[in-house]
Structure 1
């Protein structure tokens, strides 16, 4: 290898010093290369307090129970539920007996929880049987279920519950916890050695006085009859054949340094120890550390308060903050990079028995496989973003942000191309000796020279799209995955210089066909091709499904946040392992364990936990704690009880399960698999139904049949009543028919009579109309006569006025000429005669008579509303009613226009009209 620059030598020196400090400063795991699968439950998940003091599992239901500072927690595999003690005390201890009773202890309280007829836990207190006055101030820290008894203890008192009675035991002083080992029961008296509980009495174990100087926090089976004793600050001891020996191996030193707090014996002979300062440790019988798990490796907290083992062999740890489940038998093994040394891996490959990782820091390699802490070596010159590692003709080619490079077996770094962003390199089977590469800005062609070395040849002309992935399907068609938008199917020209065909599609159609052929449901993010005929489907929620055409389907729960969005990658390293690239490390999936996972998942069966009937104030629910109770249940619901909610879970599953469901009788199609653990149905019609749920596509199905009765008006007796009513209606129909015929005849007669009557009324109306029209013509005639009379009067008076004027002139001339008096007398007589004709009352009477015929009741109505009117006012009102002008009225009244205006003014005053009101309009509208 070439000499390293100064900066890199400093980096590598620091790394080796740091690695040495890890190796020599504290005991290390023999298999820290792979960490087991850890599932975290925070207080936000279980909705209680931080600290979890005790853990146990119900073997009949698979439910997990935790003694929490808030109360008793129950986990059915999907959801958490909290039960509070009567005085809301902290639950310090929890244990389960073979009858399924869940015993708990707290401050001044002991008792047990048992499911009632509705499936909910009900608490039975035993505290009232204890007469010790100190008991209300005692915390019950430990509960041990024996063959025929249950032992409750604090650090100073002990109580034995047997045959329904509680009695106090005399303890050998202040004690720590009682432990059951090989069907025998041991505890330590503080400041003393070990004691064994025999027939209700504590007997000292010989040669255990050496333990007086420490606190015993774990007693586990060791061999056939021996004991493995974990102490708080003196490590491990063994007790065999009456002799106590202190262990000096790595596990003992680890526990001495980090303070052993809990111990657990695993089925395969290994041991699990929880510490106060450094999480969880797994050892073998020789004291070698197999796993050391703390917050760096995925635990939520380094202080382990409780441990238990579930039916699947997973270790559950109750922590000072949260609950963690550690699945040592889970196939996926993780490598985390807590110090950020490697960066984020984007690709990996096995080359010459070495594992090469391409990350955003560069290229690293380590020996593979390795049984210890892997030692990563950096490829000098590879600093920067690495996208692709591909082995072609036993040459390791690297697609890099700065171009494309060859990594030699000796660790050399040779540049092949300066085309930035080598995302994917694919040898072309249709063009041997050539390879196609997708880069940031198009496509490149590489060729193998005469010496067998791969070299950059040229770019594809006329194409500049960013291509993240290139592959060739079994038919030889080339596919390109765009960096941001869909895929292209392309065809290269014979000289490989340009694209002769380019077709875009939003998705790779063969992935959809593959899903249908394998029976894969739900949203799929990416599809990866594995070894032989295996395919790996990355679901939208982050879970991974591995399938084979022979029916194998193995599902793995992976946090959606572990993957790198848009850069997910799964690499078949060899026929043994798949490597999964995560944001903060990677995981290995052994292929030989896929069948076992598939078989376990096929055997797993979900549990329908609750059927809730929502019916306003009459809502209720049915709860089920196991398959036996569910199998005996068959619900018959009322018609109005048709709003149902089903809740289901998958007990004993350390993974976050996925569910698919259907309601037979309503829909026959299974839903897509999802994390939703409940389903709601509203407004169900009467009928027989069966709700079914499954956790894997081909796994066992849990079902719940039920019936919704029809409403009372659709019941059998209701139909019988309907039949009788129908028969009665048929009998009555004949009578009704006869009555209808008679009624119809009467109706026809009535209709004829009504028709005749209507015709008569019509003729009468026609006659009335004719008479009305005649009267209207008479009125029109009278109006015309009145108008003519009025006009005649006007013309007569006008003529007489003219004559009077001429006579007046004649009179004046005669007077001026001083004619004889006799002529003057005749002239005066003539003028007087003319005046009498102008103001003739007879004319007014004729006018008034005709006016009343046309405008009936006008004067009466006017006088009834305005009593102070004079005859002159009435006469003026009549003329105004006929819409005569002031000039015309003046001629009729033989006065001046000004005189008419004065009369109009007086009339307005008597009528009390407003100044802005028009008198003519008022009279015409009156």
Structure 2
């Protein structure tokens, strides 16, 4: 919601003032130079209908309530809320009692609004307690809240609400509104005088019959016990000590012409009157008009339907079209140029007790200060764009589009230079008697001549940039602000003829240092130096912050559209005022009020208005009407309720407030101050948070703490379950591990056993193989041994045969040579010995034993299969198994080869071999 302050519009020529005074017969303001601040709220702002019939404030909360044609409006200082009556009637009247109940009246309806458990207003109707059959057709136009009663009235009926009951009062006829003054209550009966409400009855006031010819629209306390009576078309009356007197001063004449409709007593003794035809008028007790505010001066409409006074002393006016707030105590005082005579001011200066304004039309001056409407005088010859007004050595110098000029005390216009665009002229403390000026195309030097007059000296060589501002800091360094591209730090030659050093920077670094030292946060557009270490910070959003070391900080809400982009200017006029140049006028800021504003802003505390908890299934809203309610509220939210929207406001603030906020637990830094009055956070993690909001950097902080629970799977009991599950899993895993270990061990054992068995089998097989190989080796060995034995036998027998043969030969020789008997005996003995060693039975036994070892079971199998074999057959079979030839067998058997063949034949017969079968092969294969 945007509603920028409307700058008050004032007349600027004495001719218009004289014309208006003659035409309207109204007095001029005694202090129009200090006009009040007006803030406008249109129906687009409050989102309801045009007419605002009644208005009041709840002083316990600071909220404003308005009876609108659409319903009841509630304003919390930041946003508007509309509440409708049950039958959507127009809310004609609003009043608030001491308990904070909001009573409203409409067509055939009375009742009150009260906050429910969620903080929203809930309506309670009292209409069913009224038995008057005509009541449904009555409009309740007025409600008055007394100390222990509520009075509802239409123009023909009245109802008193006390102790929860409604009773009808007997009126002295058709009446207008009931008014409170000096803790007493008065009304006028139409066509009659005044009556006072006493103990539920109306008593006539003496000597008030003169009012019968008019309608009384206001009764205010006046003096000690008197009354000030405002009428529709007869002006003002006073009623003191039982006597009624008609006033004939300026204010009475004003109201007589423009029809008084509403009135208020202000805290300082002044009076505010709302009219039907010409807006709002403020008077003092003598009847002098202090302010006359209408559409021309900033109101949205000239018809005032209702008035109320807020806790800060500001007047709120419900209009026929809109709502306006008028802050008479607001420091900023605005001056505009509705006729366009002055133009747009760019600079100003006080000179010889006159205020000089440099505008795009020229130079104007007026007396300063003035108690009336300022009258501006034009300096002849100054037509055109004025950029700069500077007082140097009691001389007023003007930087102009056409050059630089001197304005004499008598109003003369003297040219000093024709260098176009004198933007900024600055005397140089480092070079007394000289001044440096920035122009459209570079820098110029001015010097003071022998007579003390300033005159143009020369241009600075080798530099042609457009320089909008020139200043010299406390260290004697010269700084230049380029019209478009930042700032330069420069150094001039001793003769000031040329630049010897230049360094560019995007911003003036000392402004950033100043922000940090004063604790200023947020984006700053420009910084201006004021009086007594005061600095004025122009924010990017247009607001103005005045700060100084020691804690003074006062911030003012100003529309961003009020300033001239790139040409913003704030001028310290004197020790009492700052002047702010705006696009359509200017404003004065009194310095003496800065400390008051700073104290008020430090004391002001924002209100966390609502917490919206959003989730996909159900949204919840918590509304707070005061700080106590928000401070006591500390919600514990579910994990899915982590999308939050905070709304906050600053009740009782006449200007549009600025806010800075942070969420402790998520943000540690404060946000920049802005007009944004709500903050949204989405997808917050579980945890404890504290939302904080402030309206000034050093002011009070409103807080709201809350906690977001973790999801069920992250809760304490979930972790207990997780722990139990973990323990179970650990136990189960341990059990499973043990089972797996045992299974693995059994498996390994089985595998080892199987492996062992395999290895044992392998070893057994290897052993068998080894044994077999050994046996085979043994067989081979035995075979070899048998063969050797056989061969030995063969050789032995062969040898013996040879010996026998030789012996036979010897025998023959001996027989021939020796005695036969003797030799024969010896030879026979030798032959016998040889015969006994040729194939002896012992040799066969040894052969048979070895043969059985090599050819195991050969004889047994042969005998089992072939019966009738003789030992000689077995012997021959053994020799044939050994693959011996017949010749070798003959030697072993000590027979001839023919004898061997005969034995082979008999053996074949016994074995039943076929003729073609080979006996050797058969024996070797058997």
Taking the aligned partners of 2:22 and 2:524, their CA distance within structure 1 comes to 46
Which residue number in structure 1 is paired with residue 168 of structure 2? Answer: 168
Q: What corresponds to 1:79 in structure 2?
A: 79
Which residue is 2:102 aligned to? 102
Q: 1:501 deviation in Å?
A: 1.6
Alpha-carbon distance, 1:697 to partner:
0.8
Q: Counterpart of 2:566?
A: 566
- Tell me what 1:18 maps to: 16
Q: For 1:45 and 1:87, locate their aligned partners in 2 and report how far apart those are by CA, in whole Å.
A: 24
What SS does the aligned partner of 1:139 have? coil
| Residues 835-876 of structure 1: per-residue CA shift (max 9 Å, x gap) | xxxxxxxxxxxxxxxxxxxxxxxxxxxxxxxxxxxxxxxxxx
Q: Distance in 1 between matches of 2:160 and 2:592?
A: 49
Once residues 183 and 750 of structure 2 are traced to their aligned partners in structure 1, the CA distance between those partners, rounded to angstroms, is: 107
Residue 645 of structure 2 corresponds to 645
The offset of 1:439, in angstroms, is 1.2
Residue in 2 aligned with 1:612?
A: 612
Alignment of 1:441-460 (within 5 A): 441-460=441-460
Pairs within 5 Å for 1:357-756: 357-742=357-742, 744=744
Hey, what does 1:127 align to over in structure 2? 127
Question: Displacement of 1:131 after TM fit?
Answer: 2.2
Task: Tell me, in whole angstroms, the C-alpha distance in 1 between the residues paired with 2:312 and 2:135.
Answer: 38
Q: Distance in 2 between matches of 1:107 and 1:746?
A: 97
**Residue of structure 2 equivalent to 1:231:** 231
Q: Give the match's secondary structure for 1:136.
A: helix
8 Å contact from structure 2 (residues 336, 584) kept in 1: yes
| Structure 1 SS opposite 2:676 | coil
Deviations 1:234-292 (A, max 9, x none): 11111000111111111111111111111000111111111111111111111111111
Contact 1:193 1:211 in 2 (8 A): yes
Q: Which runs of 5+ in 2 are unaligned?
A: 1-11, 756-926
Separation in 1 of the partners of 2:214 and 2:735? Answer: 106
Report which stretch shifted further, 677-686 or 569-578: 677-686
Aligned to 2:70: 70
Q: Work out the CA distance in 1 between the residues paired with 2:731 and 2:157.
A: 88
Give the corresponding residue for 1:144. 144
Compute the displacement of 1:17 (Å): 3.4
The superposition leaves residues 800-824 of structure 1 with CA deviations (integer Å, 9 ceiling, x where unpaired) of xxxxxxxxxxxxxxxxxxxxxxxxx
CA distance in 1, matches of 2:348, 2:295: 27
User: Could you tell me whether the CA contact under 8 Å between 1:106 and 1:139 is conserved in 2?
Assistant: yes
Helix, strand or coil for the counterpart of 1:616? coil
Deviations 1:352-387 (A, max 9, x none): 111111111111111111111212111111111111
Could you tell which deviates more after superposition, 136-145 or 58-67?
A: 136-145
Counterpart position of 1:279 = 279
- Aligned residue number for residue 351 of structure 1: 351
- Distance in 2 (CA, whole Å) between partners of 1:55 and 1:444 is 61
Counterpart Cα distance in 2 of 1:499 and 1:204: 89
Q: Is the 8 A contact 1:237 1:247 kept in 2?
A: yes
Residues 456/673 of structure 1: CA separation in 2 closer, same or farther (3 Å cut)? same
Work out the CA distance in 2 between the residues paired with 1:582 and 1:401. Answer: 20
The answer to whether the 8 A contact 2:337-2:343 is kept is: yes
Aligned to 2:217: 217
* 2: CA distance, partners of 1:419 / 1:464: 12
Further displaced range: 662-671 or 55-64: 662-671
Q: Secondary structure at the match of 1:230?
A: strand
Are the counterparts in 2 of residues 297 and 336 from structure 1 also a CA contact under 8 Å? no
Shift in Å, 1:516: 1.1
Change (3 A) 1:325 1:747: farther
Mapped partners of 2:295, 2:384: distance in 1: 29
Alignment-derived partner of residue 892 in structure 1:
none
Query: 2:279 touches 2:302 (CA, 8 Å); kept in 1?
Result: yes
Unaligned runs of 5+ in 1: 1-13, 756-926
C-alpha separation in 2, matches of 1:467 and 1:189:
73
1:863 matched residue in structure 2: none
Shift of 1:95: 0.5
SS in 2 for 1:74: strand
Contact 1:35–1:297 at 8 Å: present in 2 too?
A: no
Shift of 1:738: 2.5
Q: What is the TM-score with the length of structure 2 in the denominator?
A: 0.78
Q: Which residue of 1 aligns with 2:4?
A: none
Question: How far is 1:85 from its partner?
Answer: 0.6
- The 2-side partners of 1:497 and 1:22 are apart by 58
Q: Secondary structure at the match of 1:176?
A: coil
Q: Do the aligned partners of 2:13 and 2:375 also contact (CA within 8 Å) in 1?
A: no
Alpha-carbon separation, structure 1, partners of 2:75 and 2:332 = 24
Residue 312 (structure 1) shift: 0.6
Change (3 A) 1:422 1:744: farther
Q: Does the 8 A contact of 2:14 with 2:375 survive in 1? A: no
How many angstroms does 1:722 deviate by? Answer: 2.5
Q: Hey, what's the Cα distance between the residues in 2 that align with 1:638 and 1:701?
A: 27
CA shift, 1:667, in A, is: 2.0
Which secondary structure state, in structure 2, belongs to the residue aligned with residue 175 of structure 1? coil
Alpha carbons 1:416, 1:456 under 8 Å: kept: yes
What is the rounded CA distance, in whole Å, between the counterparts of 2:77 and 2:318 in structure 1? 16
Query: How far 1:52 sits from its partner (Å)?
Result: 0.7
* SS across alignment from 2:173: coil
Report the Cα distance in structure 2 between the residues aligned to 1:537 and 1:734, rounded to whole angstroms: 72
For 1:122 and 1:356, how far apart are their aligned partners in 2?
58
